[in-house]
Amino acid sequence: MDAINIFELSKEFISIKSIYQLVLQPFQKPKPSLAINNISLQVKQGEIFALIGQNGAGKTTLIKILSCLILPTKGKIDVMGCNILKDGEKIKASIGLVGSDERSFYWRLTLRQNLYFFAALYNLSGEKAKRKIKELSCLLEINNYLDKRFQECSSGIKQRLSIARSLLSDPGILFMDEPFKSLDLPSVKNLKNFIKKILVEEQHKTIFFISHNFNEVEDFADRIAIMHKGEIRACGTLNDLRNNISLPLVSLEDIYNLVVNTKGS
């Protein structure tokens, strides 16, 4: 079974009218902008899938649609065999989301209090929550910071806390929006190792992540999709992508530039 199955997905956003437009063109309909244009994609269970693209390519919108936070305009999407329009609650119980935003926690609370609160929202009871928080804080090396307030922690710790929260419910799929962006190089290495060895190889979780950094994707992802202006321009393993352009030794950055520029932008 595919962990994620996207079929002909499109998402249009209606832009908000400015005061000027409201006064001078009150009856003119605002132009919709196409954030995602007719994409189809399958992600296998236990796979590390990377989505790369420039800012505004539609990557975060796609992750939010898959996490049931944004509704699609068109298309059919199944996550863990459940339809996102019909089984939102079921899907939310089986996924974890690591956002790119540092916000999303309570700054006056300690890391432990934050984790307990979200554990309850993920239906984890007292003793179970306690065990899970202990386990995750050790794995992510934040156990020494658990009684510090969120506002007193560095960006790296906050990022790890976000990952810990996403793993509270033991999800089958983890959506990660730039998970390594606030981390130093050794932490990135440790975290990649943790994701690959423990989450994927041991626990068979599916990882769907977004990145701007080609280097961190190259040696980490099983498959890569290149997204540009709301479209998937290429998708496959690094070797598939190289073979498609008949240049077997080029870097992912070169592939990206070729794919984006040759297909018109």
Residues forming contacts to another protein in the complex (CB under 8 A) are 11, 13-14, 35, 61, 64, 67-71, 89-90, 92-93, 97, 99, 101, 103-109, 113, 116-123, 125, 165, 169
Q: Minimal distance in Å, beta carbon 56 to another protein?
A: 13
Contact criterion met (CB below 8 Å) for 174 and 207: yes
Q: Minimal distance in Å, beta carbon 66 to another protein?
A: 11
- Residue 107 or 184: the one with the smaller Cβ distance to another protein is 107
- Residue 55 or 125: the one with the smaller Cβ distance to another protein is 125
The angle at the Cα of 202, spanning 198 to 203, to the nearest 5 degrees, equals 90
d(CA 160, CA 109): 16
Contact criterion met (CB below 8 Å) for 151 and 105: no
Q: Minimal distance in Å, beta carbon 65 to another protein?
A: 9
- Residue 11 or 242: the one with the smaller Cβ distance to another protein is 11
Q: Minimal distance in Å, beta carbon 103 to another protein?
A: 3
Neighbours of 46 (CB within 10 A): 16
d(CA 233, CA 247): 17
d(CA 206, CA 173): 5
- Residue 16 or 249: the one with the smaller Cβ distance to another protein is 16
